[in-house]
A and B are shown apart, each in its own frame.
Chain A
Amino acid sequence: MASRGGALITATRGARRWLLRRSLSLATGVAVAVLAVVFVFPAAIVFAEAVLVDGTLSAAPIRGVLTDPFYVGALAEIFARPLAVGEHLRGLAGWARSGFPVPTFGLIGFTAYQALLSTVASVALGLPGAYVLARFEFPGRDLLRSLTILPFVLPGIMVAVGFFAMFSAGGPFNRLLGLVGLGPIDILFSLEVILLAHAFYNAPLVARLATAAWESVDARTVETARSLGASRRRAFLDVIVPQIAPAVLAGAVLTFVFTFRTFPIVLALGGLELATVEVWIYSRIRQLDLAGAAALAVVETAIAVAVLAIYLRFEARRYGAGRTPTPSERTPLVPSLRALVQPSRLAILAYGLVVAVVFVGPIASMIVESITGPSGLTLRYYAFLIDRQAEGAAFQVKPWPAVRNSLLFAGATLAIAVPTGVVVAVRRVRGGRGGVLLDALATAPLAVSGIVLGVGLLRGLVFGVPLPGGFRLQVTGVAAIVAAHAAAAYPFVVRNAAPAVGGVDRSLVESARSLGASRARALLDVELPLAIAGVVAGAAFAAAISIGEFNSTVILAEGGDAYTMPVAVERYLGDRTLGPATAMGTVLLAVTSASFVVIERVGGRY
């Protein structure tokens, strides 16, 4: 008996050891499988339409986009006759003779232009936030840091409502300007307000990535520089900037790619004059012109992938610095009342004002809408939510299932995307060419139009693949939704975790391995605790992505009961009042805030 028990224990131990040893490969396998099913396959189905005409390979659809001046402006001539070099040179000379008028590059050119400006705006608004969060201590700092990415989960229409209310002629922004004798400024329906809305979504991303990097700047390196006689400014430029630059660049690239395929917000706040490529893709999809949509999407994706690829190559050279950071002490934000008049504190105060207008303002305006009826303050829209929960018909969307599903999907997304994403990050940092490929695969979903991917999911997974005998293999429902959320979350987990993991001294891992720890054990016991800030930030993003996701959720839910909070917000639009939708939007904000705080608290205990 004893020996049999012993054998069992040995077998169990063996299995556990095997699992642990294999866990890295296993996690990699899960990541690849998830991406293959809910990203590569559906995207391929749609992209195939761009290169196949009646079943044979054809460049015609993509050529059609590239030679259309509406899409590419001045480049159309060049794409139409790439070999007529002489003529193009003559054209260039003529352009020079007429005094270099600003050329236009069509819809695609404008899309890239606004994405570039949005990136600049997001970095400009996000970076000071990172500085304040990383370098200063003040009450509520942790909470504020947790809530930075809240804008991420807000449905476009809610952001539009918030911006309309905040920046309208008689809104709080102009009243504020009036107080100091300025304004009124009408920024709605302009490129500026689109940039501001893009910054609303993406500056928090930049801030969050940069905060994590700034917090892990090694204080000793700064001290060394200072002790060698470097000025404060010199030390900042030579020591701190190189350490946070990769994170800022990551944030900037993600922002560019994100805003390059921006959709509903551009038309809601700007208008059709400021349309982007994605607007045309959406129109094609509505016309069921799949080939047209696919051709545009291929060009759009190619540009985004090119930007990502350049970045990933650049980033590869930055890893492996291998320090174990001694974080700097944070200075109190308000050490004394007199300190408030110092230039640095005044600058922070001014920045706080900007944050109040751009970030807090629209969100607060949306919440105010939810408690404002035709005749003043009211709770009737919340009463509507309760009523609907209690008495709604089975075919109607109810608030509680939406909350429950959102949390369930977010939890499951975390369970998949965080461990596997961290493994991808480790492979990326330590693993050479295979790691780069894996990272590229995990980042690619960011570059593909959500609308196009949605069609691919519908045709590939919901409609399914025909099997012999007239059967079809279909993949829908909860598991498919979670997989789609995980695929969308990978880029954020990897981008947040990779710098943190890369910052861990490689020799620590090697010592652990030489003392007999498996690779997985070393990851769990050495790298993870040291890189936890990045991993937690990645987890918060993963939750935000899952909670905010709309396109694939409605498609994969297939009209079933698997709807989430953003879906409920959308469904409660439709009457003339903003009330029910903004009330549901406020619930979405509250639930999401709570889950961010929980994630940070749990992560912080590591």
Chain B
Amino acid sequence: MKRRQYLATVGGAAGIGLSGCIASPGSSGSDEGTLTVATYDSFVESQSSLDAPATWLKDRFESEHEDVTIEWTNPDSGLNHYVQRAREGVEFDADVYLGVNVDDLIRADEQLEDSLFQDLDRGSVGNADSVKSELEFDPEGRLLPYDTGYISLVYDEGEVSGPETFDQLLDPAYEGTLLAQNAQQSDPGQAFLLWTINQFGEDGYLDYWRDLQDNDVRILGSWWDSYSAYSEGERPMVVSYSTDQVYANRDGLDMSRHQLGFLEDQGYANPEGMGVFADSERSELAHEFFDFVLSPAAQGQIATLNVQFPATTDADLNEEFDQYAHEPPETVFYGYEDLQGNLDGWVEDWAREIAG
């Protein structure tokens, strides 16, 4: 997969050239045993004294497989980067993508005639048997879930009492308290929107949001925008993840500002999957890597380092995670078939309702 490149310098008039490079088609000859894994930024960057999940996975897998090298890459536009390349017929040198959401997969399938991912041989991924079946989101089984988050509310109990239902959020007591995110650009924002669609139906969710707007909800851009505003004490409630207390505990923060609100005793699941790109010639190695990622030890480490719930039933979770990461009593999740052909319209109608 790794393409040979011929470098040429087109002399620039000011003495600084544009380096044009000409990539040849389909030439192989890659290093033996290098698996290039593409993922999102926070999987490779760690902001604390702990390892990044990527670092741990690489070190451990390489120590168990002598002639194997794991290379990480994190393009700015995520999976879209590879969808666009595939659509334009431009090669890329990643073998595996780690961090596919169900909406990413739907988009990839809509945009491309041939699947972006190859079929998995699940028989060769022994640990796949322990993946929780409710997290599977690819009807064709090309992707394996490796972790999941649950979207919930995080609130400051010194300022508000925990809301229990969606309707309560319309009460005067919650006026001007909630921060959410733009579903056009943010995963938790989109999950919260889908959660309201699950609650009020396709015909009722916009009415609910109108009422929420009347009660002065604020829909900021990214999760970061809203969580920063929450951290500065600007509002006492934010749409976030149910692992919030793990971070709060690590930083020794006041837990009263990190209470979880599972509306209707629910949380919206956001499973992340991994798959092998269709053109990868490292299929066998990729399957081995996936088996490793789903092993009890790796699942425990992903939970600790990526601060997400394991996708398997037999992960070695540490005590901290057990104590501070909370699973909702009931899980809400729209699968592939529910979202296909609907999602973009739902989000667009919603965004127009808010901005219009």
Contact at A171–B232, with CB atoms within 8 Å?
yes
Digit string of B249-284 for contact with A (CB within 8 Å is 1, else 0)?
A: 001110000000000000000000000000000000
The contact of A416 among B16, B225, B352, by CB within 8 Å, is B16
CB nearest neighbor in B for A68: B352
B167 within 8 A of A: no
Knowing A264-B221, A393-B55, A554-B76, the reply to whether A580 touches B47 (Cβ < 8 A) is yes
CB nearest neighbor in A for B18: A479
Contact at B232–A165, with CB atoms within 8 Å?
yes
Contact at B21–A396, with CB atoms within 8 Å?
no
CB nearest neighbor in B for A482: B16
A603 within 8 A of B: no
Residues of chain B within 8 A of A571, CB atoms compared: 41, 45
A-B contact count (CB 8 A): 201
Contact at A268–B220, with CB atoms within 8 Å?
yes
Binds A, one of B80-88, B143-151, B293-301: B80-88
The contact of B84 among A273, A374, A458, A479, by CB within 8 Å, is A458
Residues of chain B within 8 A of A395, CB atoms compared: 44, 54, 71-74
A58 within 8 A of B: no
A86 and B75 CA atoms in complex are apart in Å by 54
Interface size class of A (residues with CB under 8 A): 35 or more
B12 within 8 A of A: yes
Residues of chain A within 8 A of B229, CB atoms compared: 164, 188
Q: Is the interface of A mostly helix, strand, loop or mixed?
A: helix
Contact at B45–A576, with CB atoms within 8 Å?
no
Digit string of A581-597 for contact with B (CB within 8 Å is 1, else 0)?
A: 10000000000000000
Interface-centre pick from A272, A473, A573, A577 (highest chain B CB count, 10 A): A272
Residues of chain B within 8 A of A459, CB atoms compared: 84, 88
Contact at A164–B228, with CB atoms within 8 Å?
yes
Contact at A188–B234, with CB atoms within 8 Å?
yes
Contact at A474–B74, with CB atoms within 8 Å?
no
A384 within 8 A of B: yes
Residues of chain B within 8 A of A337, CB atoms compared: none
Residues of chain B within 8 A of A574, CB atoms compared: 41-42, 45, 47
A472 and B20 CA atoms in complex are apart in Å by 10
Contact at A470–B20, with CB atoms within 8 Å?
no
Residues of chain A within 8 A of B28, CB atoms compared: none
Digit string of B203-231 for contact with A (CB within 8 Å is 1, else 0)?
A: 00000000001000011111011011101
CB nearest neighbor in A for B182: A272
Knowing A479-B19, A574-B47, the reply to whether A268 touches B225 (Cβ < 8 A) is yes
Knowing A273-B355, A474-B22, A474-B23, the reply to whether A577 touches B251 (Cβ < 8 A) is yes
Residues of chain A within 8 A of B339, CB atoms compared: none
The contact of A470 among B24, B80, B182, by CB within 8 Å, is B24
Knowing A282-B185, A288-B107, the reply to whether A471 touches B221 (Cβ < 8 A) is no
B342 within 8 A of A: no
Q: Is the interface of B mostly helix, strand, loop or mixed?
A: mixed
Contact at B12–A30, with CB atoms within 8 Å?
yes
Knowing A268-B225, A474-B23, A554-B76, the reply to whether A415 touches B184 (Cβ < 8 A) is no
Residues of chain B within 8 A of A467, CB atoms compared: 22
Residues of chain B within 8 A of A120, CB atoms compared: none
B26 within 8 A of A: yes
A476 within 8 A of B: yes
Digit string of A400-439 for contact with B (CB within 8 Å is 1, else 0)?
A: 0000000000001001100110000000000000000000
Contact at B234–A463, with CB atoms within 8 Å?
no
B329 within 8 A of A: no
Q: How far is the CB of B70 from chain A (nearest CB, A)?
A: 9
Knowing A161-B228, A415-B14, the reply to whether A474 touches B107 (Cβ < 8 A) is no
CB nearest neighbor in A for B241: A576
Residues of chain B within 8 A of A415, CB atoms compared: 14, 16
A286 within 8 A of B: yes
Knowing A30-B12, A287-B107, A477-B19, the reply to whether A267 touches B182 (Cβ < 8 A) is yes
Within 8 A of B (CB), among A282-329: 282-283, 286-288
Knowing A282-B185, A479-B18, A578-B231, the reply to whether A288 touches B224 (Cβ < 8 A) is no
A176 within 8 A of B: no
Q: How far is the CB of B310 from chain A (nearest CB, A)?
A: 20
A107 and B84 CA atoms in complex are apart in Å by 28
A478 within 8 A of B: yes
Q: How far is the CB of B254 from chain A (nearest CB, A)?
A: 9
Residues of chain A within 8 A of B344, CB atoms compared: 287
Interface-centre pick from A171, A271, A478, A581 (highest chain B CB count, 10 A): A271
A499 within 8 A of B: no
B247 within 8 A of A: yes
Contact at A286–B185, with CB atoms within 8 Å?
yes
Knowing A412-B16, A576-B247, the reply to whether A272 touches B24 (Cβ < 8 A) is no
Contact at B45–A572, with CB atoms within 8 Å?
yes
The contact of A475 among B18, B231, B251, B355, by CB within 8 Å, is B18
Residues of chain B within 8 A of A273, CB atoms compared: 213, 219, 354-355
A-B CB proximity, top 6 nearest: A267-B221, A575-B47, A470-B25, A574-B42, A283-B184, A576-B247
A contacts, CB < 8 Å to B: 26-27, 29-30, 33, 37, 70, 107, 157, 160-161, 164-165, 168-171, 188-189, 264, 266-268, 271-275, 279-280, 282-283, 286-288, 373-375, 384, 387, 393, 395-397, 412, 415-416, 419-420, 458-459, 463-464, 467, 469-480, 482-483, 554-555, 559, 570-581
B contacts, CB < 8 Å to A: 12-14, 16-26, 41-42, 44-49, 52, 54-55, 58, 71-76, 80, 83-85, 88, 90, 107, 111, 182, 184-185, 213, 218-222, 224-225, 227-229, 231-234, 244, 247-248, 251-253, 344, 347-348, 351-352, 354-356
Query: 7 additional contacts, CB 8 Å, given A264-B221, A578-B228?
Result: A157-B225, A170-B233, A374-B251, A384-B48, A416-B14, A471-B24, A475-B18
10 contacts between A and B (CB under 8 A): A33-B12, A37-B18, A168-B234, A266-B221, A283-B185, A283-B347, A395-B54, A415-B14, A483-B18, A559-B75
